[in-house]
């Protein structure tokens, strides 16, 4: 990749960075871990990637302390490319039942809610429901107890006891409740498409 196509992986203080970096390497994407707002430079990085795993409140606390929450907001408001995974999707909303009283980035309207599912947490493979042929029917890997139930920005849903949002797209943001980095070749292809 050229220097302008580097991916800045945001350090949220949580997340499975090993599997994410391994996946990015497999699809030949150059990525670096970013731990502070000062490191973010859109002449170097084409895309911000916010990894999954971790509690909503802990992730927001870490992003606020490092100054990265404001940097992510600014990047989003400029319409620049962002990918969010799992809790990296959830933080774009206003709040979460997981950690009530802690505000998300509030760039998208809505709340993250606890799943009314047969087993908690939801762990395993589910097929996406989407009007997009690039997503519909794809089997992807989930690990979550919380999700967004509805949003105007939905690109796919999944059913696990109830329907919830599996992916969204808004103003340069593409975010997944599932883990594309753990979803085999189909997940790699989904990430590759996002990184264009």
Catalytic residues: 86, 179, 181
Dig out the tokens for 39 from the structure. Answer: 């490191």
Dig out the tokens for 23 from the structure. Answer: 């996946």
Q: Look at phi and psi of residue 72 and say left if phi exceeds 0, alpha if psi is from -120 to 50, else beta.
A: alpha
Angle at 24 between CA 23 and CA 25, to 5 degrees: 90
Cα 25 from Cα 36, distance rounded (Å): 23
**Alpha-carbon torsion (21, 5, 7, 132), positive or negative:** negative
């Amino acid at each position: 990749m050229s220097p302008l196509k580097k991916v800045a992986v945001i350090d949220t203080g949580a997340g499975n960075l090993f599997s994410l970096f391994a996946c990015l390497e497999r699809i030949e994407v150059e990525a670096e871990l970013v731990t502070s707002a000062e490191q973010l430079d859109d002449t170097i990085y084409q895309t911000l990637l916010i990894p999954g795993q971790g509690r909503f409140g802990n992730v927001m606390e870490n992003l606020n302390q490092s100054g990265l929450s404001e940097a992510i907001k600014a990047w989003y408001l400029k319409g620049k490319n962002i990918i969010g995974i799992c809790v990296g999707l959830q933080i774009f909303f206003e709040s979460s039942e997981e950690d009530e009283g802690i505000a998300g980035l509030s760039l998208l309207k809505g709340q993250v809610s606890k799943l009314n599912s047969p087993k908690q947490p939801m762990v395993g493979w589910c097929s996406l429901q989407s009007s997009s042929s690039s997503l519909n029917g794809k089997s992807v890997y989930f690990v979550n107890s919380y999700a967004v139930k509805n949003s105007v920005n939905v690109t796919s849903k999944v059913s696990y006891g109830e329907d919830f949002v599996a992916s969204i797209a808004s103003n340069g943001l593409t975010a997944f409740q599932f883990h594309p980095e753990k979803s085999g070749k189909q997940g790699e292809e989904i990430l590759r498409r996002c990184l264009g």
